[in-house]
Amino acid sequence: MTISRLGGIILVGLGVLMTVLAGFWLATEASVLPVGDTLLRALLAFALIIPVILLGVYLLVRSSTQDAEVFVTSEMEQQRRLLDLLKLRGQATFDELAVALDTTEAEIIAQLQSLVHLSIFSGYVQWENGRVVAVPTQSLLNMTHCVHCQQPIHIGPATTTICTTCETEYYTV
C-alpha cells in the first residue's frame, strides 16, 4: 500500500468521522438556536469538512491510477525482456526463461500467450515440452516440414499454424 493510498483512506475516514460529529453537534444545538444560525453553523462545518474528504478521494484515485500504470509498465518491460532474451538465445525452455527472468514458468507461459495474442512473437512453441524458439518470419514461411516431427506443414503469413501430429504451434507476424 502506497503512502498516498493510506493518506487517502485516513483523510476520507477522518472526514466521515468529522461529518458524524458535526451532525450530532448540530442536532443538539438545533433545539436552542434559531433555524438560520443552525444552517449557518452547518454550512461552516461542512465547508471545512468537504476539502478533507475531497483530498482523500483525490489521493485514493491518484494512487489507483499510479498502481495501474506501474502494472502495465512492468508487464511491458517483462515482455520486452522475454523477447530480447529469446532473440539473444534463439531458443530456450520455459524453465530456463523463468530462471533468467527471475519469474515462474506460469508467468513465462502467460507472457508468451500474450505476445502471441498481440502478434508480436515470431517463432514456434512446443507447449507440451515447454520449449520456445524465436525464428524470423521469412524462415518460418520457407519451412515445409515440422521441426519436431518432420511431418509436411504449410505455414502462412500472419497466422498461427499447428502441426496436426505433434501440436507444435508456429506463429508468424
Q: What is the pLDDT along the chain (173 residues), one digit of tens a residue?
A: 678 889 999 999 999 999 999 999 998 888 888 988 889 999 999 999 999 999 999 998 888 776 655 554 477 888 888 999 998 998 999 999 999 988 889 999 999 998 888 888 899 998 888 999 999 989 889 999 998 899 999 888 888 888 888 888 998 87
User: How many structural domains does the chain have?
Assistant: 1
Residues recorded for the chain: 173
Whether 46 is in a domain gets the answer yes
Cβ 38 vs Cβ 30: under 8 Å: yes
Residue-level pLDDT at 67 = 64
Q: How far from 3 is each of 15, 51, 57, 64, CA to CA, in Å?
A: 18, 19, 14, 12
Cβ 152 vs Cβ 132: under 8 Å: no
Domain that holds residue 71: 1-89
Cβ 161 vs Cβ 154: under 8 Å: yes
SS3 (DSSP) at 124: strand
Residue-level pLDDT at 157 = 85
Whether 113 is in a domain gets the answer no
Whether 52 is in a domain gets the answer yes
Residue-level pLDDT at 69 = 56
Whether 24 is in a domain gets the answer yes
Whether 50 is in a domain gets the answer yes
pTM confidence score? 0.55
